[in-house]
C-alpha cells in the first residue's frame, strides 16, 4: 500500500506554496488530504460472506475425506463434529477474507470504481462546504482534495472560476498530483500543482489592492 506521511516540514512546504500561489491572484486555494473517503465496510462484508459461501459449497465435495479425517482425530466421532467443522471453518475463512478485504489494494479491487469516484466526490463536496470555500468574496475559491485509498484527486472550483476556466484545464494538474501519490513524491508534486493553479488563476483573477487571505493556507488533514 502507498503510504503518505505529512510531517511538519511537509505541511509547512505546502502552506508556503499556497501562500506564494495566492500572492498574484485574488483566488483562494485550499488543500485537503484524507486516507479514505468512505469505509466501504458493506463491500468488505459482502466479499467475506461470498467467500465463506463459496468455501462451504466447495468443501461439500470433500465430505467423505473430511469424515475420514475426523474419525482419525476423535475416537467418539459423531455427525455433530462434521457440522461443527463446517461451521467453524467457514467462519474462519470469512473472517480472514474480511480482514484481507480491509487492505487498500483489495478494497480497490472489490469496490466498483464508480462507487469510489462518487464517494470521493461526495466527501470533497462536504469539505468544500465545511471549509467555506463557497463563501469567498468573489466566489474564487478552489479545493484540491486528495483521497489516498481511492487514488483520487478532486479539484472543485467555485462558480466565479468555473465560469472562466473550464474543468478540462485542471486535468493536467490533477494527473500530476496523482503521479506524485503513486511515485512517493506527493509533497513536491502537490506544491508544483499549487504553483500551476496560482498561475492559471492569476491570468483570470489578478490580485486586488484590497485583497485579503480569506482561507487557511495549511493543508487540511482529515480523519474521516
Q: How does pLDDT run across 108-131, given as a tens digit for each residue?
A: 999 999 999 999 999 999 999 998
Is residue 32 within 8 A of residue 209, CB to CB? The reply is no
In tens, the pLDDT along 157-186 reads 888 787 788 777 788 888 889 888 888 888
pTM above 0.95, yes or no: no
Q: What average pLDDT does range 139-162 have in this prediction?
A: 90
The HSE-up count of residue 69 (CA atoms within 13 Å, CB side) is 7
Q: Are the C-beta atoms of 102 and 44 separated by less than 8 Å?
A: yes
Question: For residue 138, what pLDDT is reported?
Answer: 83
How many CA within 13 A on the CB side of residue 189? 19
Q: Could you give phi then psi for residue 141, rounded to 5 degrees?
A: -100, 145
Q: Average pLDDT, stretch 56-85?
A: 89
Query: Mean of the per-residue pLDDT values for the chain?
Result: 90
Q: Does pLDDT of 25 surpass 70?
A: yes
Query: What is the structure's pLDDT at 3?
Result: 67
Query: How far, in Å, CA of 127 to CA of 151, rounded?
Result: 18
pLDDT band at 137 (very low <50, low <70, confident <90, very high): confident
Pairing of strands 141-147, 152-157: antiparallel
- 51-66 tens-digit pLDDT: 999 999 999 999 999 9
174 and 204 Cβ atoms separated by less than 8 Å: no
Q: Is the pLDDT of residue 1 over 60?
A: no
Per DSSP, helices labelled H in the chain are 8-22, 41-59, 63-73, 79-101, 104-110, 113-130, 159-162, 171-183, 186-204
Amino acid at each position: 500500500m502507498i503510504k503518505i506521511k505529512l510531517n511538519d516540514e511537509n505541511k509547512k512546504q505546502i502552506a508556503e506554496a499556497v501562500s506564494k500561489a495566492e500572492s498574484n491572484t485574488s483566488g483562494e486555494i485550499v488543500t485537503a488530504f484524507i486516507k479514505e473517503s468512505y469505509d466501504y465496510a458493506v463491500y468488505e462484508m459482502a466479499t467475506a460472506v461470498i467467500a465463506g459461501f463459496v468455501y462451504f459449497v466447495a468443501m461439500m465435495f470433500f465430505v467423505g475425506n473430511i469424515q475420514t479425517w475426523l474419525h482419525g482425530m476423535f475416537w467418539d466421532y459423531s455427525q455433530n463434529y462434521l457440522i461443527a467443522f463446517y461451521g467453524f471453518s467457514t467462519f474462519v475463512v470469512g473472517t480472514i477474507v474480511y480482514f484481507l478485504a480491509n487492505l487498500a489494494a483489495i478494497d480497490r479491487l472489490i469496490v466498483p470504481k464508480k462507487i469510489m469516484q462518487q464517494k470521493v466526490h461526495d466527501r470533497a463536496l462536504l469539505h468544500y462546504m465545511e471549509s467555506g470555500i463557497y463563501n469567498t468574496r468573489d466566489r474564487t475559491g478552489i479545493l484540491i482534495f486528495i483521497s489516498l485509498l481511492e487514488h483520487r484527486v478532486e479539484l472543485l472550483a467555485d462558480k466565479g472560476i468555473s465560469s472562466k476556466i473550464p474543468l478540462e484545464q485542471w486535468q493536467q494538474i490533477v494527473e500530476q498530483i496523482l503521479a506524485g501519490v503513486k511515485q512517493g513524491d506527493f509533497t513536491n508534486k502537490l506544491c508544483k500543482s499549487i504553483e500551476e493553479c496560482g498561475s492559471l488563476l492569476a491570468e483570470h483573477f489578478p490580485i486586488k489592492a484590497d485583497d485579503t487571505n480569506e482561507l487557511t493556507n495549511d493543508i487540511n488533514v482529515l480523519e474521516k
